[in-house]
Amino acid sequence: MPAEVSRTGLAQTALDAYLRAEGAERRGVDGAPTCEIVDLITDLLLLARKRGCDPSSVVRKTERHVLAETGQ
């Protein structure tokens, strides 16, 4: 479990940096705040596509990694 805690800490650091770079104001859709994690993942998938990776393949591989790392 220490590795998972370390990795979630790293993910939080990345999310914090993303929000700072973006301007960090919580945007909303119809008055409801958006999920910053979804925004970050979306932008990372756009970057993957720009670099020649298939975003759907990245999502599938990521899902397999999450399942393996959480023991599911």
Local structure of 20: helix, strand or coil: helix
Predicted structure pTM score = 0.76
How far from 21 is each of 4, 40, 44, 46, CA to CA, in Å?
Answer: 25, 11, 14, 17
Instruction: Provide the token pair at 41.
Output: 């993942």
Average pLDDT, stretch 22-35?
Answer: 61
pLDDT at 29: 54
| 45 neighbors 55 (Cβ within 8 angstroms) | yes
pLDDT band (50, 70, 90) for residue 35: confident
